[in-house]
Structure 1
C-alpha cells in the first residue's frame, strides 16, 4: 500500500556523517511487539550490529513496547540505508524467532538532526526516561531495554 504522505517524511532529509540524529521508528499499527524480552533483544542486537558495521555509533536508545528511540552519530552510510538495514534485519530476526507478525514497522521513521550546541546528555536522559513517562516502571533501573554511553 502506498502512503500518500510518506514522501513528506523524507523531504529536506540530509544525511551527514558525523552528525548526531535522534531517530524514532514505530511498529506497524503500534503493535506492542517489543513487550516480550526476546523480541526487544533482537532490536538491541541490530542496533549493535549497525555500530559494528560502522554505520552508526549509538549514544543512547530505548526499546519501548511499540517503538524505538535511538540517538546516534551517523557514520559511513546515509540515514535511509541505516534504517532500511536496521528495520529489515529486525523483521528477519523476529520471523526466524517465530513472531507471526507480517509487518513489523510502520513505513518511514522520524529523525531530528541535533545541533552541536544542544545538550546531548539532556536528550539522552529524555530518551531513557521514556519507560518512566509511559508508566511502565517506577525506576529506570527496572526497565531492561535501554542504554546510554554516559550512564
Structure 2
C-alpha cells in the first residue's frame, strides 16, 4: 500500500481538462482479488456506465481485472478527482452491500495519464483490453468477459 507521502505525490500537479482523454487506474486495497467473479466485476462496469449517463466522462475502453481497473475516458463535466471519488464510492457501497462486508475497498488515490491527441487511441485501447491476456488469465482477449472498447 502506498504511504501517505506517496499518495500525496500522486495528486501533486494533477490537472483536469474537459475534453482531455485520460487513462485511469485504481487498485483494490491490499490487491485483494474482489473482482475475480463476473458478478462483482460488473459492479465496476455499472459505475462506469453511471458516470457516462451523468455526463462526467465518455468511456472509450476499459478492463476490470481481479484487483484493479483501467479506464480510458474523455473527461466531460467534472474534475478527475470527483469522477474517481464517485466511481470508487459507488463500487464500494454496492460491493459492501452485495458481499455483506464493511470498510474500504480501494487504495487511496489513483493513477492518471493524459493521452495526447496524436497518440493512437486504438493502440492504447488494445493495450488496455489485452491486460487479462498478459496476466495469464485467458488465452484469447475475447475469452475475458470484463472489458470493452468503442473500436473493437
Deviation string 1:113-144 (CA, Å, 9 cap, x unpaired) is 01110011100000000000000000111100
Q: 2:108 corresponds to which residue?
A: 107
Matches within 5 A, 1:1-151: 3-100=4-101, 102-151=103-152
| Secondary structure, counterpart of 1:141 in structure 2 | helix
How far apart are residue 6 of structure 1 and its match? 1.4
How far apart are residue 9 of structure 1 and its match? 0.3
Q: Provide the aligned length of Structure 1 versus Structure 2.
A: 150
| Secondary structure, counterpart of 1:117 in structure 2 | coil
How far apart are residue 7 of structure 1 and its match? 1.2
Equivalent-residue separation in structure 2 for 1:63 and 1:101 (angstroms): 21
Gaps of 5+ in 1: none
RMSD over equivalenced CA pairs, Å: 1.1
Runs of 4+ in 1 over 4 A off after TM superposition: none
Gaps of 5+ in 2: none
| Secondary structure, counterpart of 2:108 in structure 1 | coil
Q: TM-score, normalised by structure 1?
A: 0.96
Equivalent-residue separation in structure 1 for 2:12 and 2:50 (angstroms): 28
How far apart are residue 99 of structure 1 and its match? 4.5
Equivalent-residue separation in structure 2 for 1:37 and 1:20 (angstroms): 27
